[in-house]
Amino acid sequence: MRRPLAALALSALSLAPLSLAPQPGRAQDEPQKVLQAPGGLNLASIQAKVAKGDAAAAAGKLTEAKADYDQARLAAQNLGRFYRNLSGSFRGLDARIPREMDQKGREALELQASINLRLAALLRRMNQPEVAVPLLVEVVQIMTPASPQGQKAYQGLVELGFVVTPYNAPMPTSGS
């Protein structure tokens, strides 16, 4: 006797427990750890995770600092994506919400760039400069080469020998 497909699907679902807790060893679940912080997934909770990583790095606990920075970086990426998605969903309906989400998205990008710079510096300290290169390239991409963070990232690429040509950002002109 054949069971209807819906019944099979329901029985399969009942056998697989639904768990919202992070599973050990799964990189995609790392932002969940930030979600568990007081306040949930927001800029403040990510900044708290970064501060924890800074403290670990200052204490010489480089592996712990890297784990904190990695979690904060993934959370910042997700947060930026969530803000973009919400912004797009409300376009044409209520201009206030896309403006707010766009602003929060910019803040998340700036935070992500800051985390990338910290993580790249940490990786250089851990004698893994080749792993720092993609992080520095990403900062240049998301912040532009003319921004202070973009300039710092590009300078790091020069120091690593990944690029040779120095970038001299044009001086801002005063609008008199």
Residues 6+ apart with CB under 8 A from 2: none
Residue 71 lies in a domain: yes
Each residue's pLDDT tens digit, 50-80: 999 999 999 999 999 999 999 999 999 999 9
Q: How many CB atoms lie within 10 A of CB 12?
A: 9
Domain annotation covers residue 16 = no
Token couple for 143? 């912040």
Tens digits of residue pLDDT in 134-173: 999 999 999 999 999 999 999 999 999 999 988 887 765 6
Whether residue 10 lies inside any domain: the answer is no
Kindly state whether residue 97 falls inside one of the protein's structural domains: yes
Q: By CB neighbour count within 10 A (0-12 exposed, 13-18 middle, 19+ buried), where does 97 fall? A: middle
Q: Does any domain span residue 100?
A: yes
Q: Kindly state whether residue 151 falls inside one of the protein's structural domains.
A: no
Judge whether 98 lies within some domain. yes
pTM of the model: 0.73
Whether 143 maps to a domain, the answer reads: no
Tally of structural domains, the chain: 1
Q: Which residue range forms the structural domain that includes residue 37?
A: 28-126
Class of residue 109 by CB neighbours under 10 A (exposed 0-12, middle 13-18, buried 19+):
buried
